[in-house]
Amino acid sequence: MAPLDVDRPYRLNSSVALRPESFGALAYSYDNRQLAFLKTPRLLEVLRALDGASSASAALSAAGVPAPDRSVYTAALQRLADTDVLEAVPGERWESGLTSMPASGGVSGAVARAGAGAAGDLGGGGDRDGNRPGRLTDRFKSGLAAPICLTWELTYACNLACIHCLSSSGRRDPDELTTAEAMSVVDAMAEMGIFYVNIGGGEPTVRPDFWSLLDHAVDRRVGVKFSTNGVRLDAAAARRLADTDYVDVQISLDGATAETNDAIRGTDAYAMARRAMDELAAADFGPFKISVVVTRHVVPELDALSELAAGYGAQLRLTRLRPSGRGAQTWPQLRLDQDQQRQVYRWLMAHPDVLTGDSFFHLSALGEPLPGLNLCGAGRVVCLIDPVGDVYACPFVLHERFRAGSVRDPGGFPSLWRGAPLFRELRAPGSAGACTSCGLYDACQGGCMAAKFFTGIALDGPDPECVLGHGEAALTAAAAAAIPSPGPGHSRRPVPVSIGRRP
C-alpha cells in the first residue's frame, strides 16, 4: 500500500459511486465490488473537496477539518486509498518521486469497509481486523436512504422446480411488470443511488426482455448481479456478459455432485449449471459466483464445492436454507442439525473468502462473530420487488404480512422505501422478547425473522435453529398454532419430494 502523501492531489476513483447517508455516506466500487462506510458527514465533504483541490491537505482545509482532527481524517483518507476508493492524481512531480510523506496514524475507524456480496447479499460488514462498523449497525437498523441489498425477481417463470424455491416459481404470472414498467423501476433505482440490484426469479433469463433490462440498468449505472440456473447461458450469452461492465453472474448449484444437486433442483440441473460455468470460463468472464443453499446434504460437500469454485476461478457463496415458499414444505427434511450447524460455522470461520450474504449470523452465537453486519436487514437495508411489482421486506418473507406496497402505487418504489408503514415498523427499535435473557443476543440478534414467521414462532421468539436449542421448544409450541402459509404459489405442478427424511 502506498503511503498517502497529503501534499499531492487525490480524486475519487472513477469506478466509485458515493451516496450520502445520515451517518456520512456509502461508497461503492464497481471495480472491486466493495462497499465502504464513511462514518462522518465531514469525511464526505473532504472527498467532495478533493475535486479540484491542489492536495489532500488543501481538501482537508476546504472541508473545515479542525487541526486536532487532521491526523484522524488523514488516516481515513489513507484507508480509502488503500481500498481504491481514492486514487492519486497522476503528475510528473510525484511520479519522479520528488515528494513523499509517510501516512500518519493507524486505521482511524472513520471508515469501515465491507465486502458487498450478492443476493441478499449484505455481504459482510467490517473486516476481521477489529475495525468493525460497531455502532454503525444501529444506524442501519433505522434504515438507509436506499437499500444496499435489493432483490428483484423478474418473473415467476422457471424451467426448473427446485424443492426449496423461496418464491414457489414455475409459471409466469400474467400480471408481471411490463417492459416499460420494469424500465421505470430501473430509472427509480438509478435516481435513488442504488449501487446494484440482485436479479433473480424464477429464472430471469427466460424473460424475453431480460437483456434489454440488463443493458438499461448498466447504462443507468445500476450494477446487476443476476442468479441463473444456466438454462440460457450459452457461448454467445457468456461472451456478451464478458463484454459488459457492472455485471456479476451467480450460478445456482446445490451440491458438488449431480446426485446431490439434482435431488434438490431436478434431473440434469447439475449438467446444465456446469455447462453454463464452462461457457463463462471459456468467454473469460472472470470470477463469477457459485451460489449454494446449504442443506443437510451439502454440508459434507463444502470442501468439494470450494475446490470446484477454485477450479473455475469462481467465488463460492453459501446461503442459509429458510422455510419460505416451497422450502416451507421441505425445510424439516433439508435443514441442518446442531452438529451440522457447528460444522458450517467452523468451516466458514476457516474460509473467510466464502461469501454468505450475512445469512448465517445466527451462528455467530457459537463464538467469534462471522464477518458481516450480523443483523436482520429486512426493510432496513434489504428488500424485494416481486415479478408483479409488490415490494416485500426481504426475499424470504413473501407474505401479505410483510408486503409494503407495489411499485405501481403512486410514488413508486422510492416512496415505499422511504415511508411505507411496514418499513417504519421494522426500523423502529424492537424488543429482544424471549431472547432478552440470552447472553448471546448481541451476536445472534434472535436470528432470522423469516425463519421464525414461517415456522409459527413469534417474531420476538428464538430462531428455530437457535444454537442453544431453544428453537426446538418454540417449534413444538408453535405446532398447534396456525403456521402462516407461504405466499401465492406459482408451481406448475406439485413438486415431488423424494429426498430422505431426517433420521
If the CB atoms of residues 327 and 412 are measured against ligand SF4, the closer one turns out to be 327
Are residues 261 and 284 in contact, defined by beta-carbon separation less than 8 angstroms?
no
Closer CB to ligand SF4, 76 or 466, in the complex: 466
Site string for ligand SF4, 316-355 (x = CB under 6 A): ----------------------------------------
Stretch that binds ligand SF4, among 133-141, 393-401, 483-491, 494-502 (CB under 6 A): 393-401
Shortest Å, Cβ 396 to ligand SF4: 4
- Least distance to ligand SF4, CB of residue 100, Å: 46
Binds ligand SF4 (CB under 6 A): choice among 123, 126, 223, 447: 447
Residues 308, 365, 385, 495: which binds ligand SF4 (CB under 6 A)? 365
Sign of the C-alpha dihedral, residues 384, 390, 391, 392? negative
User: Alpha helices, DSSP H only, in 363-495?
Assistant: 412-419, 421-427, 441-444, 449-453, 470-479
Per the CB < 8 A criterion, the answer to whether 290 and 118 are in contact is: no
45 binds ligand SF4 (CB under 6 A): no
CA distances from 181 to 184, 385, 490 (A): 5, 12, 21
* Rounded Cα gap, residues 416 and 409, in angstroms: 9
Distance CA 492, CA 260 (A): 23
User: Per-residue DSSP letters for 203-264?
Assistant: -GGGSTTHHHHHHHHHHTT-EEEEEE-STT--HHHHHHHHT-TTEEEEEE---SSHHHHHHH
Q: How far is the CB of 355 from ligand SF4 (least distance, A)?
A: 15
What part of residues 167-226 is at the interface with ligand SF4 (CB under 6 A)?
none
As a whole number of angstroms, the distance between CA 189 and CA 75 comes to: 33
Q: Does 449 bind ligand SF4 (CB under 6 A)?
A: yes
In angstroms, what is the minimal distance from the CB of 43 to ligand SF4? 28
C-alpha cell at 339: 452438529
Answer yes or no whether residue 373 interacts with ligand SF4 by CB under 6 A: no
Q: Of 382, 391, 457, 478, which lies in the binding site for ligand SF4, with binding defined by CB under 6 A? A: 382
The count of other CB atoms within 10 Å of the CB of residue 220 is 16
Task: Report the residue number, 256 or 449, with the smaller CB distance to ligand SF4.
Answer: 449
Select from 1-9, 57-65, 377-385, 493-501 the region that touches ligand SF4 (CB under 6 A): 377-385
CA 485-487-490 angle, 5° bins: 120
b/e per residue 305-330 (b: at least 16 CB within 10 A): bbebbeebebbbbbbbbbbbbbbbbb
Span of 81-89, 234-242, 441-449, 476-484 interacting with ligand SF4 by CB under 6 A: 441-449
Q: What are the residues facing 228 on neighbouring strands?
A: 251
Site string for ligand SF4, 420-439 (x = CB under 6 A): ---------------x--x-
* Residue 478 engages ligand SF4 in binding (rule: CB under 6 A): no
Place of cell 450460478: 251
Select 108 or 319, whichever has its Cβ closest to ligand SF4: 319
Contacts with ligand SF4, residue ranges (CB under 6 A): 365, 376-378, 382, 394, 396-397, 435, 438, 440-441, 444, 446-450, 462-463, 466-468, 470
